[in-house]
Amino acid sequence: MTTTALVWFRRDLRLTDNLALQAAAAAADTIIPVYIHAPEEEAPWQPGAASNWWLHHSLSALAESLLAAGAPLLIRSGNTAATLLELIEATGADSVYWNRLYEPAVIQRDADVRHALEDHDILANDFNAYLLLEPGSVMNKSAAPYKVFTPFWKAARSMLEVRTPEPPPQLNKAKNSLTSLTVDELDLLPTIQWYAGFEASWQPGEAGALDQLDQFVDGTVAAYTEDRNRPDREGTSRLSAHLHFGEVSPHQVAYATQQAVAEHPGCAAGAEVFLSEIGWREFAHHLLAHFPHTVAEPLRPDFKTFPWRMPDDDDPDYAAWCKGETGIPMVDAGMHQLWHTGWMHNRVRMVVASLLTKNQLISWQAGARWFWDTLVDANLASNTLGWQWTAGCGADAAPFFRIFNPVRQGEKFDPHEYYVRQWCKELKDIPVGAAHAPWTKVADYPPPVVDLAESRKLALELFKQNKN
């Protein structure tokens, strides 16, 4: 008797080191890869426009790879549990395999799917192929979750065993006459074609992820310790979106980094710092799993009453920030980079977030929502951690009195003004040495939306009142 298994793809859009795919191929005679489009099941955090652009291209790449491997991708839309049960009835499949995800709404949906399958005597198999360590596996000595990164990562690092990535399995096509939607029929691409810069900046899909990983470990990682803070250099891995969509696994990334150190010991320091950045991704998911309310509320209760304002659509200060028209080049450059490429350098993310939450006193939730819609690497756990860290109200947060001065940040990390001049074309006639604070010269550049010194003073006073 032959057996058939469904492999339910989500954000694991790869063939290499895909534990669910590997296990299904080993256990069943034939497999049917399935992707079910059900964004409403992730509400209120359905993927944003930039994420959907990436998903369109990543799904297309996965479909091509699976077709070449002999197991075409079956695409459906609708309720996940109901769709899986329909496919099981149509194919005679007796098992479903998938890789776990860890957002609150998704965890609940997956539990509902498992119950539905088990109620119909269908074998349900799920795996951790998205993180290095399962949330809940790294706890402090009191069996409580860590809220500070350094002890979390020290404990996690001591537990971590980087495994050799699994190669793509041999797949046998399941013979059936089932119809499939096309990727185009999912209508993932934004209706307004503002994403031309995305196409010039990225190659979504497993092949693009592996190329990017190779480029990083072959060159960039050696200077990562310093260059990761320089937006004027290609000093980061640029793997965040590939990791988010599961086009490459964190074990693949960690393994390739270890191999680079073995071949070139001189890059060990940069490799360890980079691995700790992967650790921040782990920490973000660890926090979200234990404190799911933090997607909407600060982790620190004392900040629930802090007088941030939630802007409406007509708020001119918020609009200036979103459009990169704050009059502060380091901030404007970051927001322009985000709009044109769907990505922003991490150092600049902290700078623009600090201006919004501490100088403009606009809520971190408003900033998180804008990033969610415009970032190709928008990840609920990392987005939540990053915004609460900068705002000073979350786990391991930067103290509220640490307010990034965007002029000094620019002068320190973009000393030759390459970054701001690349993304703010209005600076082309500004004298060299004045691009980070053009308002101090006679220059044709918009004035700052806030006085940096006065707004810092006000923020610190409000923080003192909130603390008392």
Percentage, residues of the chain above pLDDT 90: 90
**Chain region(s) in the chain for CATH 1.25.40.80:** 131-163+195-290
Percentage, residues of the chain above pLDDT 70: 98
Q: How far apart (Å, rounded) are the C-alpha atoms in residues 29 and 298?
A: 49
> What phi and psi, each to the nearest 5 degrees, are found at residue 373?
-85, -25
For the segment 207-251, what is each residue's pLDDT rounded down to a tens digit? Answer: 999 999 999 999 899 999 999 999 999 999 999 999 999 999 999
**Structure tokens given for 3:** 């057996």
The pLDDT-based confidence of 193 (bands split at 50, 70, 90) is confident
Q: What per-residue confidence (pLDDT) applies to 1?
A: 64
Res 441 pLDDT > 80: no
Res 174 pLDDT > 80: no
Q: What per-residue confidence (pLDDT) applies to 205?
A: 98
- Cβ distance 314 to 367 under 8 Å? no
- Average the pLDDT over 82-102 and give the result: 97
- Average the pLDDT over 279-299 and give the result: 97
CA distances (Å), origin 93, targets 9, 114, 219: 16, 15, 46
For the segment 316-329, what is each residue's pLDDT rounded down to a tens digit? Answer: 999 999 999 999 99
CATH architecture of 4-129: 3-Layer(aba) Sandwich (3.40)
> What is the pTM assigned to this prediction?
0.96
The residue written with tokens 């971590």 in the block is 160
CA distances (Å), origin 322, targets 102, 260, 319, 362: 29, 39, 5, 12
For the segment 356-397, what is each residue's pLDDT rounded down to a tens digit? Answer: 999 999 999 999 999 999 999 999 999 999 999 999 999 876
- Cβ distance 5 to 31 under 8 Å? yes
**Chain region(s) in the chain for CATH 3.40.50.620:** 4-129
- Cβ distance 323 to 317 under 8 Å? no
What CATH number has the domain spanning 131-163+195-290?
1.25.40.80
- Average the pLDDT over 408-428 and give the result: 96
The residue written with tokens 């990169």 in the block is 324
- Cβ distance 337 to 344 under 8 Å? yes
- Cβ distance 233 to 227 under 8 Å? yes
The pLDDT-based confidence of 313 (bands split at 50, 70, 90) is confident
For the segment 115-144, what is each residue's pLDDT rounded down to a tens digit? Answer: 999 999 999 999 999 999 999 999 999 999
- Cβ distance 245 to 11 under 8 Å? yes
Domain 301-467 CATH assignment equals 1.10.579.10: yes
Beta-carbon contacts of residue 340 (< 8 Å; ≥ 6 apart): 197, 423
- What SS3 state is found at 328? coil
- Average the pLDDT over 8-22 and give the result: 98
> What phi and psi, each to the nearest 5 degrees, are found at residue 358?
-110, -35
Indicate the DSSP class of residue 101.
Answer: -
Res 442 pLDDT > 80: no
The pLDDT-based confidence of 103 (bands split at 50, 70, 90) is very high
Q: What per-residue confidence (pLDDT) applies to 175?
A: 67
